[in-house]
A = this chain, B = another copy of it.
Amino acid sequence: MAVNLSVPARDALRAVPGVTLEVAEAGIKKPGRKDLLVITLDKGNTVAGVFTQNRFCAAPVVVSKAHLDAGVQVRALVVNTGNANAGTGEQGRANALAVCAALAEELGCAREQVLPFSTGVILEPLPVERLIAGLPTRRAADWLDAANAIMTTDTQPKAASRTLQLGGREVVMTGIAKGAGMIHPNMATMLGFVATDATVTRPVLQQLVREVADVSFNCISVDGDTSTNDSFILISTGQDADALIDSAEHPDYAPLKAALTDLSIELAQAIVRDGEGATKFMTVTVEGGRTQDECKAVGYAIARSPLVKTAFFASDPNLGRLLAAIGYAGIHDLDVERIELYLDEVLVAADGGRHPGYQEADGQRVMAKPEITVRVRLNRGAVQATVWSCDFSYDYVRINADYRS
């Protein structure tokens, strides 16, 4: 069902020196599938992350944040699918720590040097014994295997690579991500991991991960539900200490950020393309706003509206629903007479009503496409923002009415 999304070619995904990937079948939710990923990092790395703003954040989010805040060097990340270890209270945190401790003992490092991540069903105890028992059974894997091992309701693995010339050296960056429901990130997506062998200090990496998330994973919505487990992690393997990027003013910062942003947007869009039940991919661009926040508010009002999403599913240019969403986005002094609404290149509405030149057939032609751009010109400022979303189909209901069974 995914919209214009194909499985990444295995050989297009570049290995990142300093990163070792392994997967296992731990039987967390059901037997016979890869559900455990371990990412081990060589010495010299730095790691930074952004996490969900959901107050019911999962135990692994609490533990990963604490371990990152401890300032010790990260040795490994351990990721399970099949159970989110969220809404699990004190026992959930103890379980997440037990997983870290088991892996740390094997690797000969401190528990704080392991970051745990989980995705899956909420409010059910983590089967921690199965997870720990699965750790020693893991086998060498590549990035495509890793992307497969973190899927839940995703229909396809999501991974991408970029390369970049920095200071005469080729820098590699590769990342993976997973959706496919409870996607309305308020920090990062459900799970995203990007590694690069560019060498970046921890404070600069933290700035980088936030700036990249704000224009990639923080710009998507599948169903408006902000997850308990959202985590987006950026890894610098630090294999080239001579090319250290130690400030945002460093000449390599901007090109590195541009390439990481490009990669992260591809992964974030892949989550939307593979959104639960998605048949359409919508780009909502809001221009001429006064602030980034108001542009995003209008974009998300459109991206979240069940009425807009069902109209896109039906390929029905019932475009009044777009105006209604713009109108309730919360801009109290919005002058609706100044707004222009485009569907791809077709001007639909202006001067507070339907544009005289608009023909239903033109709207119909655009709505029939699998990828559609909604462009809203607010004409009250110079700021713009883009969010990506998908439609709302029978299959969204089916998937979420069936998900636990």
Contact = CB atoms under 8 A, between A and B. Distances in A.
Contacts of A84: 320
A400 B320 CA distance: 13
A337 B225 CA distance: 21
B320 A354 contact: no
Interface string A45-69: 0000000011111000000000000
A125 B393 CA distance: 29
A186 to B, nearest CB: 7
A307 B87 contact: no
Given A88-B353, A397-B313, A226 B328 contact: yes
Nearest to A310: B400
A336 interface: yes
Contact of A121 (B57, B121, B320, B348): B320
Given A182-B307, A402-B314, A123 B320 contact: yes
A327 interface: yes
Interface residues of A, number: 71
Interface in A287-346: 304-307, 310-311, 313-314, 316, 318-321, 323-329, 331-332, 334, 336-337
Contact of A223 (B90, B181, B307, B401): B307
A278 to B, nearest CB: 13
Interface string A114-140: 000000011111000000000000000
A257 to B, nearest CB: 28
A404 interface: yes
A246 to B, nearest CB: 33
B327 A54 contact: yes
B87 A225 contact: no
A396 interface: yes
Contacts of A223: 305-307
Contacts of A305: 223-225
B320 A122 contact: yes
A84 B53 CA distance: 38
A88 B354 contact: yes
With a 10 A CB-CB cut-off, give which of A186, A319, A353 has the most chain B CB atoms.
Answer: A353
B393 A307 contact: no
Interface in A390-405: 392-394, 396-398, 400-405
Interface in A53-107: 53-57, 84, 86-92
A370 B226 CA distance: 27
A385 B356 CA distance: 46
A227 interface: yes
11 contacts: A53-B328, A55-B329, A56-B328, A87-B320, A87-B324, A122-B320, A223-B306, A224-B224, A225-B306, A227-B324, A316-B403
The 7 closest A-B pairs by CB, nearest first: A122-B320, A89-B353, A56-B327, A123-B320, A314-B401, A89-B352, A310-B400
Given A56-B336, A394-B398, 6 more contacts: A86-B323, A86-B324, A88-B352, A123-B323, A314-B402, A397-B397
Interface of A: 53-57, 84, 86-92, 121-125, 181-182, 184, 186, 223-228, 304-307, 310-311, 313-314, 316, 318-321, 323-329, 331-332, 334, 336-337, 348-349, 351-354, 392-394, 396-398, 400-405
